[in-house]
Amino acid sequence: MKRFGKRSFALLLLSCFMLISAACSNAPAAGETTVAAGSEPAKEPVKVVWWHSMSGELGTVADKLISDFNAAHQDIQVEGVFQGTYDESLNKLKATLGSNSGPTMIQVYEIGSRFMMDTKAIRPVQDFMDAEAYDISSLEPNIKNYYTFDDKLYSMPFNSSNPILYYNKDAFKAAGLDPENPPTTYEEVAEAAKALTKGGQTGASFAIYGWFMEQFLANQGVELLNNGNGRTSPATASQVNNAAAVKTLEWWKQMLDNKVLLNLGRKTDDTKKAFAAGQIAMTLDSTASLRGIVSAAEGKFEVGTAFLPKPADGGEGGVIIGGASLWLMNNKSEEEQQAAWEFMKYLAEPQTQAYWHVNTGYFPVTTKAYEESLVKENLEKYPQFQTAVDQLHQTTANLATQGAVMGVFPEARQLTETAIEEVLNGQKTPQEALDKAAQEISSKIETYNKTVK
């Protein structure tokens, strides 16, 4: 046998070492997997970007829903992005139109519906519903009606609310009023406010909020806009200066003049704080605030809830859906849009809506949620949650309660608030202030309509 020299043996060892090193460098690291020849690499989950306006406690609940969905759907990952108030979020969306920098889906308040449709940048959820014969029979009729245009559901209802009267039951007892028989009319509210105003406490305070005026009119079956509230054909004029609105402002101003109502400005946060502190005994607010209002009063007094009041001779009506819905943008891939639709369906499921309702105060968008034990147990513990549900179900369906539709709703609401302010500050009579607001709103509607093709 031929013997190797020292040099040859060293070269052989070096060659073996290099072969072993090469093999090791190609081996997978701990925890890694290799892709077999001819197979596809693991597919990345479809990303859905959701712009929303849920902050504070509401934002915490929204984040929990996103987290639960993502955990159950490895092929879809939803990223929730808080974009400020509804107004701020919509303005940010406007800045993205015509580009691909916007979200997959966005939460838009109910009064932004006309604008969203007019952008031509959205895809109606009805497309997906029709494609898979999605059952909407359990959607609350009044909620479904609000977001339906030309027999088509354009957006997916998500967080829905209506305004209710909150009152201090302990203060009612102390004033000799029946805490189980709250006022239901303008006249009864004024009388109760007189009895409740004593010892540093004022009977009531309502935030200067245009939404309340819209609701006061609908509660009397009165339309805010012409052309069937903008639903039979595009609205061309505001009717906020109608007799029902004038009567509402006269009632509001008279209570202020009688010193049984405080004017705390436009922010509902200020009236909430005053109510929790016992400074006022009655206030108006959204059902979305119910959980927070009840918690803030806990240990101090019992909170009562009642229907939105209306004049004793008011017409038949009810409340308009408040809150927001989910809109799908049409400039994303079909795959991304489909993924967003899956998330929308999840948010509308009875179990999801039950959790959302109990932890926020928004009422469920599906009637099946009331069959969930979570909702039943919550209503037993907090009967205040039943008020908004009953008020919704007792609302008469007509064009007034279906809700007004116009592309300049945010601006119109602000002009209405200015009119209320002018009346409460004694600058104008209710008729003068509302005539001015109606004229300015109508002018904005006319300008807007010219821009829509």
Residue 385 token pair: 């949650």
Report whether 83 contacts 53 (CB < 8 A): yes
Check if CATH label 3.40.50.720 holds for domain 163-318+406-452. no
Residue 173, number of CB atoms within 10 A of its CB: 13
Please provide residue 253's backbone torsions phi and psi, each rounded to the nearest 5 degrees: -70, -35
Report whether 311 contacts 186 (CB < 8 A): yes
Distances in whole angstroms, Cα of residue 54 to Cα of each of 58, 288, 343 = 5, 11, 17
Q: Which residue has the tokens 């926020």?
A: 360
Domain boundaries 46-161+321-394, CATH class: alpha beta
pLDDT in tens, the chain (453 residues): 444 454 444 444 444 444 444 444 444 444 444 444 455 566 899 999 999 999 988 999 999 999 999 999 999 999 999 999 999 999 999 999 989 899 999 999 999 999 999 999 999 999 999 999 999 999 999 899 999 998 899 999 999 999 999 999 999 999 999 999 999 999 999 999 999 999 999 999 999 999 999 999 999 999 999 999 999 999 999 999 999 999 999 999 999 999 999 999 999 999 999 999 999 999 999 998 998 899 999 999 999 999 999 999 999 999 999 999 999 999 999 999 999 999 999 999 999 999 999 998 898 999 999 999 999 999 998 899 899 989 999 999 999 999 999 999 999 999 999 999 999 999 999 999 999 999 999 999 999 999 986
Q: How open is the CA angle 433-196-188, to the nearest 5 degrees?
A: 60
According to DSSP, residue 108 is labeled E
Cα(185)–Cα(79) distance, rounded to whole angstroms? 45
Report whether 14 contacts 70 (CB < 8 A): no
Identical fold at 46-161+321-394 and 163-318+406-452? Answer: yes
Domain range summary for the chain, segments of one domain joined by +: 46-161+321-394, 163-318+406-452
